[in-house]
Structure 1
């Protein structure tokens, strides 16, 4: 479907404005809602010599280089990877601060049709928070119809990982990871507060929000914080809303989000949290040896990467080892917590206009469908991968995490993953969730009252999304 020149020019102008728009830029779908490059519907019959992959960090690059069977050689600076058939994989990594990754990707996708064959994007990566922006566009190819993966290939994947990447009945992306969330708690603090660090008994004490709040009060009496900051529990509430953020031009604030507001205000006023924000220095320090926080809501990647790293007295980058005796390594455990949720995830998309569909098919099949490879990634990295049969095998085995005091956390993830529901995900999720959290921080700190916080949220919506004309709050 071709758009008029005037429409395309307007889209380019909107993209230019979006590139200067800070966090709001990710919400502008104009750059990817234009029609796909004409070459996307008729890929070249022979694969090209260069495969261009765009991402925002080196996570997928490391998975690719370590586990894709066709890798022959990796350049010393890791800028390229050579495959067995001579194909050169060129990596373009643009960090995602201030939506830099999305802005540059959008510009490149708009220029895809006129780019030289060896410069065209073949694969690009997307995150859950903004996945639908690209999934629901002509710039991503159908994994089945265009790339050639079959239902049999995809059968081991968790359904939610496909639901979020599906638009108009077409699967537009696949992922090697599933990201169910758990509650990671300090064993030593649990023993002091609850008299036990046993995951089953701790789960019983935290199995719903009323119990969770009661433990927060008990923890405070012992000198501990239940959570580090304002945002820690947010995704557990936002993943359990009853409807999408937006219907038509109306924004509906779900009752569950207001429960988060109420809880966080209580925690802040009563000293149950440390008034930190996600990714801040205080938040990271609260996870370390000097921290006094009962626990943290974390998904799969967060536990074995972020939490583990923050727990060490001497970081691995400074010569420390990830082992007992270094900081509080071994003092964490996990339980299900009060509600199932997920956090994050990275999807592999095939870009319309690629001349490497056969190579992309093999990469997707190997790195998101192959049971043996998925199981090996988990065994090596403890990352939870997107293959239910492989994860169930590990869940029922003697697999364990030394970081979690010998616990088989894969068993808990395997139980949680089937409960993830993506039916209420929408294209405005990232922007509205960020604005909602930001608008209420002043309220938590007592700088504004509740009604002013609501007004500030509505103002931010008007600035980010002028097409959204109404906001409905729960009664």
Structure 2
């Protein structure tokens, strides 16, 4: 999950300074004017002008799986899943570069630099980005306006959560679109809640976790009964970082928000008192803490985390070994969710159309089907438990008798629907990924007792100045 927040090649760094007014061009204008009928097959005339190879870049197979399962125009999937053939004969070629050590962004940046010189069948047509670094690509000439260039309309996008549009927009130009909205909740073990609180009822658990003072009090109580409140150092970070009072950077000055100091104070306290298990996000012990042998009360997770990570970690016998996602396999069914002490969001994935693509008609149809079609959005949520980016669809499920067997019969969509409209992107900025990762890295030695608070601050400053030499000052809360 660690990703670079800067272009890795000097030429591309220079390229992102180009005004977005230059985005588009002949191919974009031509495709934007083509008539497209959503999920229906495109007209012969429109397709005649388009390439027969559609290159999609991403960092894992999550979107590939959604595409192959829910995009209506899929005809055939290769056995090795390297390609997907559409009903009109277009071949979708998947390039999946895992994101270890910023591998995905680095290779993507290099490919975008070579985009103009590449043959039509080798050009990137669409690529995926995440919230932490979306602005890096939005603020460049390598992404296209989803309305002017691709052809989506305000009506098409009208049911999407506004923050999902804001995060990939600059100066009113939207450069991507997502099938997900990613509000966050606190996922807790029902059995541990009963042992610590005497109840596993989500409403009653929420009453005892509704602010940080209460949350910390329960952490002490859980510890006394032999449990950890959180798994590691970073678990609550997103909740604090999503509730800051200002962006990281103003001009050339970095301002560390007081709420991040609250995270540092809490995490140090939890580590010293044994309220956490001293893990880091995504490490083996962190994932094991979510499974049958885990003794951790709960985890802060957004929508994708529940279906894409927590479910798998809960199983005693993984699905790849023949296990089923069902009650009786590990602790499947022993989790529930509540809002927790503060609203927050975490992550999300956006589709971006790449400048130079000769498949804009197909890209429009993909974006319209997989991010705007209400019935497809409902189907994705009902079948995968992901929370999709259509307010009307999500409200229908929230008001229904929908139940998650993984969450012990709870309709978690109802809670997500209450939290999602509160997501505020006004404090987001292009430095978010690098700053957030730098903060977590710099203070780990402080949490473990291998550095003083002042030394950790110095380490953070060093990380910042090396990554962003243009930033000249760091201000800490008094």
Report whether the alignment pairs 1:457 with 2:443.
Answer: no
**TM-score, length basis structure 1:** 0.93
**Match of residue 114 from structure 1:** 117
Among 309, 313, 321, the alignment partner of 2:312 is 309
CA contact (8 A) 1:244 1:425 kept: yes
CA contact (8 A) 2:256 2:476 kept: yes
- State the SS of the aligned residue for 1:145: coil
Among 189, 205, 209, the alignment partner of 2:208 is 205
Report whether the alignment pairs 1:165 with 2:168.
Answer: yes
Q: For residue 37 of structure 1, report the CA deviation from its aligned partner.
A: 13
Go from structure 1 to structure 2 and tell me whether the alpha carbon gap of 1:306 and 1:348 turns closer, same or farther (over 3 Å shift). Answer: same
Q: Which one has the bigger helix percentage? A: 1
Among 247, 251, 262, the alignment partner of 1:248 is 251
Counterparts of 1:39 and 1:168, CA distance in 2: 13
**Match of residue 38 from structure 2:** none
Among 230, 234, 239, the alignment partner of 1:236 is 239
**Match of residue 41 from structure 1:** 25
CA contact (8 A) 1:39 1:113 kept: no
Long gaps (5+) in structure 2: 31-48
CA contact (8 A) 1:180 1:341 kept: yes
CA contact (8 A) 1:276 1:283 kept: yes
Counterparts of 1:210 and 1:319, CA distance in 2: 43
Post-superposition CA distance 1:257-312 (Å, at most 9, x none): 00000000110111110111011111111111111111000011111221111111
Report whether the alignment pairs 1:103 with 2:87.
Answer: no
Query: How many residue pairs are counted as aligned between the two chains?
Result: 454
Q: How does 1:375-386 map to 2 (within 5 A)?
A: 375-386=378-389
Counterparts of 2:76 and 2:381, CA distance in 1: 23
Q: How does 1:128-143 map to 2 (within 5 A)?
A: 128-143=131-146
Among 78, 86, 97, the alignment partner of 2:81 is 78
Report whether the alignment pairs 1:363 with 2:342.
Answer: no
Counterparts of 1:450 and 1:180, CA distance in 2: 32
Counterparts of 1:72 and 1:339, CA distance in 2: 44
Go from structure 1 to structure 2 and tell me whether the alpha carbon gap of 1:23 and 1:372 turns closer, same or farther (over 3 Å shift). Answer: closer
**Match of residue 423 from structure 2:** 420
Report whether the alignment pairs 1:27 with 2:6.
Answer: yes
**Match of residue 341 from structure 2:** 338
Q: For residue 99 of structure 1, report the CA deviation from its aligned partner.
A: 0.8
- State the SS of the aligned residue for 1:153: coil
Q: How does 1:2-17 map to 2 (within 5 A)?
A: none
Among 62, 67, 74, the alignment partner of 1:64 is 67
**TM-score, length basis structure 2:** 0.92
Post-superposition CA distance 1:141-185 (Å, at most 9, x none): 001111111110000101110010001210000000111110001
**44-53 vs 170-179, which moves further:** 44-53
Go from structure 1 to structure 2 and tell me whether the alpha carbon gap of 1:191 and 1:24 turns closer, same or farther (over 3 Å shift). Answer: closer
Among 421, 440, 443, the alignment partner of 1:440 is 443
Go from structure 1 to structure 2 and tell me whether the alpha carbon gap of 1:256 and 1:374 turns closer, same or farther (over 3 Å shift). Answer: same
CA contact (8 A) 2:130 2:349 kept: yes
Go from structure 1 to structure 2 and tell me whether the alpha carbon gap of 1:339 and 1:25 turns closer, same or farther (over 3 Å shift). Answer: closer
CA contact (8 A) 2:176 2:350 kept: yes
Counterparts of 1:273 and 1:375, CA distance in 2: 37
**Match of residue 188 from structure 2:** 185
Post-superposition CA distance 1:46-103 (Å, at most 9, x none): 2112111111111111111111111111112111111111111111111111111111
**Match of residue 270 from structure 2:** 267
Long gaps (5+) in structure 1: 1-21
**Match of residue 37 from structure 2:** none
